[in-house]
Structure 1
Amino acid sequence: MKVAGVVTWIQVAIVLVAFAANIALAYFPSLVGALTGLPDDPDARQILEFQISAICLQFGLLTGVIGAIFALEAVKSDDFRENLKRLVGIIQVKKLSSEDFYREFYHAASKAKHVVNISYLAPDPPGKHDHQYKKDYYKNLQTLICRNSKVTFRRIIRRTDENYAWACELLREFEGRANASIALINESDSTANPAALSVQVIDSRFAWFVAVKDHDQYGDWRDIFVENEQLAEAMGIYYERLWDRSDELLRCGKLTAEGRRLLAENAASTGDGTMASADQP
């Protein structure tokens, strides 16, 4: 059943209950008397207080009903706007600064219902010298992945020597998390900006093009956000192409042979069997 239909039935139920309550108050004043503690032989002052209480009760009931109706109308209105946008294919395009991207993408990921596809194509991992908003993003995103087990999170990481240690930390953190998958994609180690386009797609509804020109921001914007189902679906297909070209390290929380090999190499490189730590928050 559509959201609007459910909301309408709830509104009808509220009105019927409120109507029945007002009928009861009007024809059975003893109910109000019992609620307010009115004695069997009240004096004039007690009768006045009783009448005031009855009026306040009816007014409060009416106010509550009106508030509930308006609140439910807002829900129906939001649902109507979403359906209209889907029907006519409304497109929204925004240029985003680096800070805007991290804030808005995390917010959208926290509202995701099905799949969050992430690309990380920078040659270096997140570092301790990053802006605080970027540190907060990576910290909060890892918590979100662990908390929101009903949503699938896939992350493509560019294969570089600098990114290996960070990828291993992520493998350790998300191993056993059935909603997490990680893969490494081969790109040129000598070029800061890869040939592949860094796309992020959520629920085949929202798409972000990250680091369109460069991973560092020059000028007022760095990324582009697009809200359009047709384009997001196309970018989802493009993401699948990137995923198919990548080496899976973690598949639905389970280490692949490549993932185990990378962990073993990383552990051996530390000399004491522990994981090397990426320079990240």
Structure 2
Amino acid sequence: MKDMYRVIESDQSKRIDKLLAEVIEDVSRSQVQSWLKEDYVQVNGMFVKSNYKVQEGDEINWVVPETKPMDLAAENIDIDIVYEDEDVVVVNKPSGMVVHPSAGHDNGTLVNALLYHCQDLSGINGVERPGIVHRIDKDTSGLLMVAKNDKAHESLVQQLVDKSVERKYLAIVHGMISHEYGTIDAPIGRDPKERQRMAVVNEGREAVTHFQVLEHFKDFSYVECKLETGRTHQIRVHLRYINHPLAGDPKYGPRKTLDLNGQALHAKSIGFEHPRSGEWLHFQANPPEEFTKALHYLRNKS
């Protein structure tokens, strides 16, 4: 796949490897460096090194080298399966686990674990994402629904499109939210200034998050969020947008925060219509120990 990017004023003097890692989705800086080394990238028709500093107006062209499909291995990793039948699996994913293999994460993922525990997974998303209907971030814990066959997959995806799936999250955020209830209706897209992040942008896709404040602390709030849509990093971006970023969020939050290994966000419940029987299924999972310890600390401190 060949692609092009023209350098804008805000990119001025950035290293080309850093810039392309921001511009190209799901590509690491080390990958870009290997492309540059192997002459897959040109600037104004010339090959350059990784330390080349771009100038406004530079035309960068690159060709993504063909990669062989990942040979996914079934791994005997302990996972918390909340529900399973012939069509669906509901898993309580731990914080720190990546959902499916990608660059830099070719093993130890939820997909690797699922392949060991249940060999039948839908193939709609290809060999690298079998069964995966929706995702939650690496450092977000909680419930995911997984499809075991293509018919179930199509049904669950359609329910997400129809906004009939119920997904609720628990979060600890910075600051005292002044409203007990609220709705954040703001479109989300790629951040034009930092391409590895998402942001509220006018040309973004529709994104709606409803929230309810559960507890107030001195410098933090404990909230429940309900997703109406499911954009990348939606809750993280929306809470930052209203100036209440998630505690422990390394990408969207402040450095001075609670002592956590990642953002304080837990997918606590999920509800959906069973793709075969039509029965409404609803599941809940308590937040992990690190999350509850942070709450205990805030309650004692207040």
Scaled to the shorter chain, the TM-score interval is: under 0.3
> What's the TM-score once normalised by structure 2's chain length?
0.19
Structure with the higher fraction of residues in helix conformation = 1
Larger Rg: 1
Q: Which has the higher contact order (CA 8 A, sep 6+)?
A: 1
